[in-house]
């Protein structure tokens, strides 16, 4: 039984981030591990609220009050078991999830919510440090599954299927396994040995990884159909949104965010096969205020940019939840400050780029922006420019972090006879199965660019559907909220 007064004794507290000057000198994670005492105190703030909403806020349905109480009483072994029952990779979500669970924490109505995500990552760290990560050895089913794509969706499905006794091979186009977590998300958010440790654990439980294999090119859809009883497509939503209509887009110095992040992260990984877009000494403008933009910001700081300005089309959001517009327990539309913002740079809200300005020799020197309002006119999202508000900002490098436009059009789709929807993703209307028999889909490739926690949830749900499709005995657990519905962060 949780301590009902814990929140009266302890305030919400996170471990202190490493000092900015220090962390700008390296690429290591911003947060150091928390001490055990701090985590116990924080778990003790979970207040036995009767009807908890936090696990409903979590797309995985994590049993948060249960493991909070187990940590409070020092029962780490059971906490590890309870957490892994619903989440394959708490070491990923504990570092990277925006924690919609905390927005739904009952304590958050009148106080600061419990540091659920921090407790989660510490349970995961304990599991690896003490060799307590679940490692089942199931009876072989005689069935085989190919997974295309090694992001969190593909990995979660692969682990679930392997644990059900199926023989699983994960194919990945990149030279290393991990999806966007490998070369998309910088090390200061997740150091790559965290992924490698998990991959070693998965290999030990029988998952086979084949990196450097582009399905549809190096191996065909027919090859997969011949070799496997079912296929899961989890190839992400990596088609970057561009702004081709903006004058000057072709100038040297205007790039998509991923053209900046991927080479930078490959260099950090010790690979020398790429030329980074180096921000050193440059005046950098990042267009887009989300996760990707914040990652470009942190990378540009570490590369030694002269100045960095991040632009957002939307007005400055409020710092705290407003009751009517953003009532508890919904995910609030408030100002999100990432660790990279603490490291420097300016943010400008309510503006949009009108032109990339060149020096006459094809090189970027500035951008022209205008103040705007984003409105719905006749149901259509419209950007309305404020007359006379245009101005120029100096720029040597512009990074477009304005989102993704679904999954790429690539040969594997036509080989499987699959068409993308209007949102450029794949439908999974037949219980996670696409229009192609025995071919399933999960993660961003189905949901559109989203979050790691959703990718894991979808991977688990698709694995459960594949298990039934294969006619295997018993059921595989799937998250309650596999509907991909109300909460989209
Ligand atoms: C810069 C950035 C930062 C982000 N930060 C966060 C964050 O902090 N927190 C968070 O929750 N989410 C974050 N996200 C979103 C998150 O990374 C994704 O939602 C998640 O990785 C999706 O998982 P997935 O498994 O569906 O696909 P992905 O992780 O995209 O993996 C798909 C994989 O499929 C591979 N593939 C594609 N085609 C083929 C093929 N033909 N053959 C073989 N392999 C193929 C790709 O190479 C890729 O590795 C971020 C996204 C970006 C871009
Ligand atoms: S996965 Fe995300 S939403 Fe779920 S408990 Fe962890 S931090 Fe919260």
CA dihedral 71, 74, 75, 76 (to 10 degrees): 70
**153 within ligand 2 shell (Cβ under 6 A):** no
> Chain centroid to CA 6: how far?
32
Distance CA 139, CA 166 (A): 9
Judged against a pLDDT cut of 70, whether residue 444 lies above it is answered with: yes
pTM comes to: 0.97
**Residue 256 parent element (H or E):** strand 254-256
**97 within ligand 1 shell (Cβ under 6 A):** yes
**96 within ligand 1 shell (Cβ under 6 A):** yes
Structure letter (DSSP) for residue 273: S
Judged against a pLDDT cut of 70, whether residue 323 lies above it is answered with: yes
Q: How confident is the model at residue 488 (pLDDT cuts 50, 70, 90)?
A: very low
The pLDDT score that the predictor gives to residue 2 is 73
% of residues, the chain, pLDDT over 70: 98
- Residue range 422-440: mean pLDDT, rounded: 96
Judged against a pLDDT cut of 90, whether residue 194 lies above it is answered with: yes
What are the chain's domains?
6-130 (1.10.1060.10), 144-238+405-469 (3.50.50.60), 242-402 (3.50.50.60)
Q: Give the neighbor-by-neighbor strand order of the sheet with 208-211.
A: 208-211, 167-172, 144-148, 230-233, 439-441
Judged by DSSP in three states, 354 sits in: strand
Atom of ligand 2 nearest to the CA of 456: 1
**Angle at the Cα of 276 from the Cα atoms of 272 and 279, rounded to 5 degrees:** 140
Handedness of CA 311, 316, 318, 323 (dihedral sign): negative
In angstroms, what is the span from residue 83 Cα to ligand 2's centroid?
10
- H helices present in 26-115, as ranges: 36-44, 54-57, 64-72, 76-84, 90-96, 100-103
Nearest ligand to the C-alpha atom of residue 292:
1
- Residue range 125-141: mean pLDDT, rounded: 93
**Angle at the Cα of 182 from the Cα atoms of 135 and 313, rounded to 5 degrees:** 125
The position carrying tokens 């991959």 is 199
**154 within ligand 1 shell (Cβ under 6 A):** yes
**458 within ligand 1 shell (Cβ under 6 A):** no
- Residue range 63-72: mean pLDDT, rounded: 96
The upper half-sphere exposure of residue 384, i.e. CA atoms within 13 Å in the direction of its Cβ, equals 9
Nearest ligand to the C-alpha atom of residue 211:
1
- Residue range 56-70: mean pLDDT, rounded: 96
Judged against a pLDDT cut of 80, whether residue 99 lies above it is answered with: yes
Residues 6+ apart with CB under 8 A from 56: 104, 329, 481
- Residue range 293-319: mean pLDDT, rounded: 97
**202 within ligand 1 shell (Cβ under 6 A):** no
- Residue range 394-408: mean pLDDT, rounded: 97
- Residue range 351-377: mean pLDDT, rounded: 97
Nearest ligand to the C-alpha atom of residue 414:
1
């Amino acid at each position: 039984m949780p301590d009902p007064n814990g929140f009266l004794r302890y305030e919400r507290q996170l471990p202190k981030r490493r000092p900015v000057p220090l962390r700008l000198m390296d690429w290591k994670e911003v947060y150091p591990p928390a001490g055990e005492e701090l985590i116990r105190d924080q778990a003790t703030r979970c207040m036995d609220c009767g009807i908890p909403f936090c696990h409903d806020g979590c797309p995985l349905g994590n049993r948060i009050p249960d493991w909070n109480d187990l940590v409070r009483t020092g029962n780490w072994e059971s906490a590890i078991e309870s957490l892994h029952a619903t989440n394959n990779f708490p070491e990923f979500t504990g570092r990277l999830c925006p924690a919609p669970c905390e927005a739904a924490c009952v304590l958050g109505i009148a106080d600061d919510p419990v540091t659920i995500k921090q407790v989660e990552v510490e349970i995961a760290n304990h599991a690896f440090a003490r060799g307590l990560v679940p490692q089942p050895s199931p009876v072989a089913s005689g069935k085989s599954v190919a997974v295309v794509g090694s992001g969190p969706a593909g990995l979660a499905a692969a682990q679930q299927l392997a644990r059900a006794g199926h023989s699983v091979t994960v194919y990945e186009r990149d030279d290393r396994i991990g999806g966007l977590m490998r070369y998309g998300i910088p090390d200061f958010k997740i150091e790559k040995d965290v992924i490698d440790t998990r991959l070693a654990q998965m290999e030990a439980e029988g998952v086979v990884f084949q990196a450097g294999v582009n399905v549809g090119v190096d191996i065909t859809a027919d090859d997969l159909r011949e070799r496997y009883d079912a296929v899961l497509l989890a190839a992400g939503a990596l088609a970057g949104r561009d702004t081709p209509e903006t004058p000057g887009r072709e100038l040297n110095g205007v790039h998509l965010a991923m053209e900046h992040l991927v080479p930078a992260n490959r260099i950090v990984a010790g690979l020398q096969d790429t030329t980074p877009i180096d921000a050193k000494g440059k005046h950098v403008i990042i267009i887009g205020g989300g996760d990707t933009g914040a990652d470009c910001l942190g990378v540009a700081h570490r590369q030694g940019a002269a100045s960095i300005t991040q632009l957002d089309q939307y007005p400055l959001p409020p710092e705290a939840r407003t009751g009517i517009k953003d009532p508890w327990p919904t995910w609030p539309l408030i100002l999100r400050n990432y660790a990279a913002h603490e490291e420097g740079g300016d943010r400008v809200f309510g503006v949009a780029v009108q032109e990339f300005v060149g020096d006459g020799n094809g090189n970027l020197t500035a951008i022209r922006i205008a103040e705007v309002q984003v409105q719905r006119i006749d149901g259509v999202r419209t950007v309305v420019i404020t007359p006379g508000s245009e101005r120029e900002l100096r720029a040597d490098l512009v990074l477009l972090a304005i989102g993704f436009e679904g999954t790429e059009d690539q040969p594997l789709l036509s080989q499987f006879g699959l068409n993308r929807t209007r949102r450029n993703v794949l439908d999974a209307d037949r219980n996670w199965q696409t229009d192609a028999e025995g071919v399933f889909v999960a993660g961003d490739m189905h949901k559109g660019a989203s979050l790691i926690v959703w990718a894991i949830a979808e991977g688990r749900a698709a694995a459960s559907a594949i298990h039934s499709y294969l006619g295997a005995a018993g059921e595989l657990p799937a998250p309650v909220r596999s509907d991909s519905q109300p909460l989209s962060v």
